[in-house]
Structure 1
Amino acid sequence: MSKCLVCNKNDSKYKCPKCKIPYCSLICFKAPAHNHDNNDNSQKAAKDEEPQLLRKTTKSLTSAGITKDKLSKLKPSSQKILQNDKLNGMLSLLSLPQLQIQLIILNKIINDVSLTNEGSAEDRKEIAIKKLETLRMDGMHPNELVEEFCQLFEKLNSNDDKPLDT
């Protein structure tokens, strides 16, 4: 685990979605020392995290049943996709239990009729959307991880017409 590049004291728990600087807490995220103009720190953070993200991606894929042998046989273009920082950011977020719990709850709202007493799938989806909106930063119960996940998901979806490796 890398150190927080804002306070340089604690292990980092998060990474800024804009500049990729690892930080340990909301206090460090909002600190004046964390600014997006300091390119040296963001470049250092990106260099430090690149091998770590590749290891995390490989670990995630192998835990999903894809062997290292199969990974080594991938075409270079497929390997490049696996090194995409947006995709790695998504995989990194999905490995966090706090986010997994929120996504499981949303999934259960959509799929479990007994949870909402709504017969129609459309009504359950609407309830799940409302729940998600409360978890976003503008909602009643803002959750930083859910917000970061949604923003990253939107970025990935907004580039449907572009190759993932750009």
Structure 2
Amino acid sequence: MEMTIKDYVNSFLKKERITQVEFCEKTGIPLSTIKGMKSRGTNPGLETLKKIRSVYPNFKFMLSDEQGMGSVSSVKSDDQLASLENKTEFASLYSEIKRLLKENTKLHDENVELLRENREIRIENKDLRNKVNELQEEFNSLNDYSTRQSNGITNAEAVTVERAG
């Protein structure tokens, strides 16, 4: 027999001869949840359904994709409930995998950008080292010239000394 969650909950409470407040106190689910199921036909989550089943094992339900949102069928066995739980767990894991893949792609893109920046910095660093070497050579040359000048050696004498050396 197919019925909406709204009809099922109303029927179940009547059959059990309990109020929705008693139902909520025993199951630990919020009163707003049961009111939503009873008045608007709001589908409970799997965790809510597990709480209900832990207190009321005869609360037989099954939200079915084939039947559309809000429709309920009776569960013939705990295997059917386990199957539903497995499907829900699979959907949750699939969503988590998609989220992680998206995050991984983002991190990969950031890593590629950092590698590009690193390469540019290494090239700039190499250029700076070359410039420092050129400046060092120029400094040494000027220092040698300055030393010769202070010792009174002319450029011609320095060249002669270098050739002789």
- TM-score, with structure 1 as normaliser: 0.19
Q: Which has the larger radius of gyration?
A: 2
- TM-score, with structure 2 as normaliser: 0.19
Write 1 or 2 for the structure with the bigger share of helix.
2
